[in-house]
Amino acid sequence: MRNLRVLHSTIEILTSEYIVGISKLPCLESLVIRPSTREFWFEEPAPKGSFQNLRKFSLERAPVELFEDIWKVQIFECLTSLKLDFVTVHPTPEQTRVWSEFLVSSICNDCPGLVDLSIDFDFDQNTDVYVELLPDEIILPMRKIPLEKLDLRSAEFCNNAIEGYLVIPSAWSHLKTLCLVDVGVTAIDLSWFSELPNLETLIVQLVLSTPGPPDPQLVRKTINTRFKVLNSWSHRVNIRGDVHEIARWLLSLWPGLDRVEWTKGEEKKPDPIAGALNGAIGLLRRLNETKTRLSREEYGSRALSLFSEGL
């Protein structure tokens, strides 16, 4: 038992009857907890200095009330990965707001090394309740932790989404993977996400059309060449307009973009419009790379004049 690294158990393991025992497992790195028929009440925190090697914690299929009592056990300081799935919701929007603010604040204050955070606020999707990603209460506190992967489900930006978009570059500056499967995003909205300097993969619900003028509140400060995959959490390919212009717009945001994927639902035949978009992305990216390479040569200006303005 002293060499145990991964433990799956029910909530009883965190009661005073057992917590001292598992605190003596020096190699424990990952702990997965599920509720049981026994109601859990906080009794006492874990022994001071214990759980120093615990890096991953998952709370599965939990009622929302359980989080506060579990957090008082104080075993989370050294976590790098945290996964929370909730199967109940609060009865009013105000209670949901207060609870979600407390949850995020607790995580950001008590897990200084957290790089991977996953929260599903309504795992069974039994309601139409969504947690609002309020800029000051939910998004900005995440500046305290070096998140590289963030997955938030049953969550959406507030009615004035731009308020949230304005703060994500500073709050999520370390992110490499961002998953917001319930957030609908247009081609113009994507420009806000392009300001995340280290982002490599974005998963949202895409609605792509020929882009209009960019939002005047956005001042481009970042050119992210690491970004490769734009993913739409939908089985439906929602593209309207000129795929060539959409591809050009996407590459203006992320010059290294490799492809757009649609990954929810059963496997099906490739959509011809999606194929056309990805074909245009590949062609234009290679042309841009060729132009960049030619611009470094002595004959660059003459060679570049051979390209039409449309390319």
pLDDT of residue 300: 62
- 3-state DSSP of 83-152: EEEECCCCCCHHHHHHHHHHHHHHHHHHCCCCCEEEEECCCCCCCCCCEEECHHHHHHHHHHCCCCEEEE
Separation between Cα atoms, residue 39 and residue 277, nearest integer Å: 53
Task: Round the average pLDDT of the chain to a whole number and report it.
Answer: 89
Q: Does domain 6-268 have CATH number 3.80.10?
A: yes
Of the listed ranges 146-155, 173-182, 226-235, the least confidently predicted one is 226-235
The residue ranges of every structural domain in the chain are 6-268
Burial 15-54 (b: 16+ CB within 10 A, else e): eeeebeebbebeebbbbebebeeeebeeeeebeeebbeeb
Query: What is the percent of the chain with per-residue pLDDT over 90, rounded to a whole number?
Result: 64
pLDDT grade for 62, boundaries at 50, 70 and 90: very high
Q: For 87-129, how does the pLDDT look when each residue is reduced to its tens digit (9 = 90+)?
A: 998 889 899 999 999 999 999 999 999 999 999 998 887 777 7
